[in-house]
Structures are given as structure tokens and as C-alpha cells.
Structure 1
């Protein structure tokens, strides 16, 4: 398992947190958002899902991964 922290811009509320966490989970990874820091800690199996696809899943919800 790999762990990475992604900086996500545009999150401002609980709904944003759940949207980003759901996107990460649906991409095949596990994510925990820190709203105050504007980050999501992601744990994933690189043999099953790529970091690029996780970033794309987040961006497809309207947030920017920087």
C-alpha cells in the first residue's frame, strides 16, 4: 500500500469533504480529508489503481488537485 497526501483547492464545507472522500473511494482507494489543511490523505494499492486516476476522480468532482 502506498500513502500520499494531496493538496486539494476549493473545499470549504462538510459536503466538500464527503464529495472528495467518495470520489477517492470510488476510484479504488481510501481517503481522509483534512478540511482545515485543504488536504486529503490517500492510501491505495498501486497495482490496482494509479495516482493519476485518483487525482482525476477528485478533479472530476470540481476540485483542483495541486
Structure 2
């Protein structure tokens, strides 16, 4: 497993946190380890997914995301 931290724009409340957790968890091979307003740490299996898919999942949920680490 690899880990990535994403900076996430557009989040403002607890509902946003839950929505992003759900979106990231829906990515095959990914586990949202820690999500808070403005940031998400995700563990993922690089054989099953990649950072681009996680960023796309955040975008599909309505949030802008970019890789921090």
C-alpha cells in the first residue's frame, strides 16, 4: 500500500468531509484513512488504482484536489 495526502478545495463542513470520505472509499483499492476540511490522507494499492483516480473521485464529488505528498 502507498499513501498520499491531498489538499482539497471547496470543503466547508462535516457533510463535505463525509461526502469526500464516501467518494474516496468508492475507488477500488483505496481507503480514506483521514479526511478533514481541506485535506485527505488516502492509502491505496498501486496495482489497483492511482493518485489520478483519487483526484478524479474528489472532482466527481465536487471538490478540487491536488497531491501534497
Do they superpose with TM above 0.5? yes
Q: Secondary structure at the match of 2:11?
A: coil
Q: How do 1:15-26 residues align onto structure 2 when only pairs under 5 Å count?
A: 15-26=15-26
Find out whether 1:63 has 2:63 as its counterpart.
Answer: yes
Work out whether 1:43 is the aligned partner of 2:43: yes
Q: Which runs of 4+ in 1 moved over 6 A?
A: none
What secondary structure, in the 3-state scheme, does the structure 2 residue paired with 1:33 have?
A: strand
The answer for unaligned runs of 5 or more in structure 1 is: none
Q: CA deviation at 1:57?
A: 0.6
Gaps of 5+ in 2: none
Using the alignment, how far apart are the partners of 1:2 and 1:51 within structure 2?
A: 10
> By how many angstroms is 1:33 displaced?
0.7
The structure richer in strand per residue is: 2
Q: How far 1:20 moved relative to its partner? A: 0.4
- What RMSD, in angstroms, separates the aligned Cα atoms of the two structures? 0.9
Residue 36 of structure 2 corresponds to which residue in structure 1?
A: 34
